[in-house]
Structure 1
Amino acid sequence: MRDRIGMSPASLISTGLVARCSDGAGHVSRLWPGFGLSGLLAMAATFMATMHGGPQLLYALFFGVALHHLSNDAKSKPGIDFCSRTLLRLGVGLLGARITAAQIAGLGWMTAAVVGLGVVTTISMAVLIGRRFGMSNAQSTLSGGAVAICGASAALAISAVLPRDKDSDRFTLMVVVTVTVLSTIAMVVYPLVAKFLHLSPELAGLFLGGTIHDVAQVVGAGYTIDHQTGDIATVVKLFRVAMLTLVVVVVSAAFKRARAAGDLSPDDSAPVRQTLVPWFLWLFIVMVAVNSFGLISPPVQESLNHVSRACLVIAIAALGMKTSFAQLAQAGWQPLLLIVVETLWLALLVLGCALAMR
């Protein structure tokens, strides 16, 4: 082997670049099989949702679960892990491109107070009832945050800062499945409730945007009533999405010690240092700030929204491959009942506030 002492600086630099490129190419080649498989399932889910309707994320999850056996394959495992962690964080961070400070300010303090009350009380109630059901604080917080904020996206974001154990992925998937199904039911039922009670567009938008879990279902429910209700419901929902930043910071701080104790360094001797605000949350904040100053043109914003959605669909497909229906069934009836109770509480609270404001 040639001694590097006599090599010129240019030769040393070129040698280092070649080595780094080689390492990068090797890393990509390790991730590609699992990433490509997750992407293929995401495209199949998108095709099904486009052609036959139904929730895109739920299709991706079911397709992933059907190929659960591939998650332990040595070739596909690195890419699946990358999609289920790094890619989902990127998707959550890019959600900020939908939101501006002007949209939030335009809601008014009463609407903001009702939404904030719903988020705080739903998560608090989840923790209290979850203890009665024998669930951990982390599991209760995850289910409450998913219901209170934005369904599957919130579940993925909150799970990223919670302590991890052997049941973490399984429980996260169970929450995603349940809130997606309930959100779809709410998309059909809640507009009927708003019409029956003769709610004005402002109050109907508050009810729909403040209670339905997923953004897509809020849009679908709002515009089935009329255009004005759809616009208001969408802005209210985006305000709930914006609260994801604060909730994740609080959850990250509350579980920092438990998370650090569970995340050991490669030598299993020292915990990995955890930041209070994860990088994807900083990305979310930056995207909101940039969009608030009008620096993102509508075509770019639309593209970022598509990229965010694509990342989340791919991540859900990857998470699906890391679990199975048998594992989901092992979660028991308590988490399912807790999420149903949380959903009913949030709906009754916001609807009661809307009727009181009439």
Structure 2
Amino acid sequence: MSTPSKSRTSVQGLTDAAASLWPGVAVTCAVALAAQFLSEHYGAPAMLMALLLGIAFHFLAEEGRCVAGIAFCARQVLRLGVALLGIRISVDLLIGLGLSTILLLVCAIAATILFGLAAARLLGRGWRLALLTSGAVAICGASAAMAIAAVLPKNQFSERNLIFTVLSVTVLSTIAMIFYPMLAEGMGLDARAAGIFFGGTIHDVAQVVGAGFSVSPEAGETATLVKLIRVTMLAPVVIVFSLATRNVASPEASGKRPPLLPGFVIAFLVLAALNSTGMVPAAVATAASEASRWALLIGIVAVGMKASLRRLLDVGGDAVILIVAETLFIGLFILAGIHYLGHA
């Protein structure tokens, strides 16, 4: 085949792929815009609105022209959002927080994941759900849940567990945003200690910011910084989970083992490294961060569309107990660490 013929075939293939994806991508983006509108005008978390609206449009993912585009958003667009999170990370963040606080966060993340595995075993739940919920609680809520779900071996409950985890951490984050500032005041925590508590325990970034700045500017800045350090741990945790589970057989796998290092994790690390060197202009970093937020919002809409509400209700009360227990555990762990470090 001549070179012009190959070029025409390649262009035609791209055109056909775009045509097949367009309806699903368009409807998913439209629902994401609606979720953002509701969030801005009624104060509800955008991720929660995206998830609930996505579930309401589940029928679009069952059959018809939108199926391929919804699947594309639930996988590729979602992973793009996670990868772009790396632009928020830099070495300066680590230096600014202090070694003792960083060690506290690392220990809290590791302890929460181990606690989740032990608690899941006591409750008779599988290790996939344990890693998904404990990782989401320990690191950065819905974003971590989506990143972890991307590398765990799939089974018939994978999508249901992801939807349950995202919904749970979003609701728990909102509750924490309301009650944790009152708890910090009742315990007599100063602004820095309150910021460490909020940033080290609340699951999603938006709710961390809301809780911190409701106390004081110093608490808000500290909470945001601590939260971003937890986000930094996303890549190492995902890599560990990927390496630990890559030999586990998946019913949906085609026999080919997943890569040692997922591409979106590599992109996350590369962007973090570039941002640490100061080579990324502030305007570019801001645009990439906003693109990450929208990609994650679109991704979670698509994940919601692929989820069946009936199957979600089958997750069981013990799963709720598990994720609430993990949330309480990391809260108590961080409070104990704050006391030990002399911040309170």
Q: TM-score range by the shorter chain?
A: over 0.9
Which residue number in structure 1 is paired with residue 194 of structure 2?
204
Match of 1:231 in 2: 221
Give the 5 Å matches for 1:1-358.
Answer: 12-259=2-249, 261-265=250-254, 271-356=255-340, 357=342, 358=344
CA deviation profile, 1:293-313 (whole Å, cap 9, x unmatched)? 111222211111111011111
Moved more, 118-127 or 319-328: 319-328
- Cα displacement (A) at 1:226: 1.0
220-229 vs 177-186, greater mean Cα deviation: 220-229
The one-letter code of the counterpart of 2:269 is I
Paired AA for residue 180 in structure 1: T
Q: Alignment partner of 1:160: what SS? A: helix
Look up the equivalent residue of 1:149 and give its one-letter code.
I
- Max Rg structure: 1
Q: Distance in 2 between matches of 1:309 and 1:263?
A: 29
In 2, distance between residues paired with 1:342 and 1:139? 12
* Aligned structure 1 segments of 4 or more residues deviating by more than 4 angstroms: none
CA offset digits 1:161-210 (Å, max 9, x no partner): 00101210011000000000000010111111112222122211111100
Alpha-carbon distance in 2 for matches of 1:116, 1:65: 34
1:203-240: CA deviation from partner (whole Å, max 9, x where unpaired)? 11111100000011111111111111111111110010
TM-score (norm 2): 0.97
* Whole-angstrom CA distance in 2 between matches of 1:161 and 1:248: 7
Residues 163 and 304, structure 2, Cα contact 8 Å, conserved in 1: yes
Pairwise CA distance, 1:333: 0.6
Distance 1:59 1:252 in 2: 30
Contact 2:153 2:245 in 1 (8 A): yes
Q: What is the CA distance between 1:79 and its match in structure 2?
A: 0.7
Letter in 2 for 1:319: V
1:238-297 per-position Cα deviation (integer Å, ceiling 9, x unaligned): 0100001110011001111115x44533xxxxx123112100001110111111111122
Return the letter of the residue paired with 1:308. Answer: S
Structure 2 gap segments, 5+ residues each = none
- 3-state SS in 1 of match to 2:247: helix
Letter in 2 for 1:303: A
Deviations 1:31-86 (A, max 9, x none): 11111111010000000001111100110111111111111123111111111111
Output the CA distance in 2 between the equivalents of 1:192 and 1:75: 49
Note if contact 1:150-1:214 (Cα within 8 Å) is conserved in structure 2. Answer: yes
CA contact (8 A) 2:246 2:257 kept: no
> 1:125-148, CA deviations, whole angstroms, 9 ceiling, x for partnerless residues?
101110122211111111100000
Give distance in 2, aligned partners of 1:172 and 1:64: 13
Aligned residue identity for 1:59: M
- Secondary structure in structure 1 of the residue aligned to 2:233: helix
Equivalenced residue count is 342
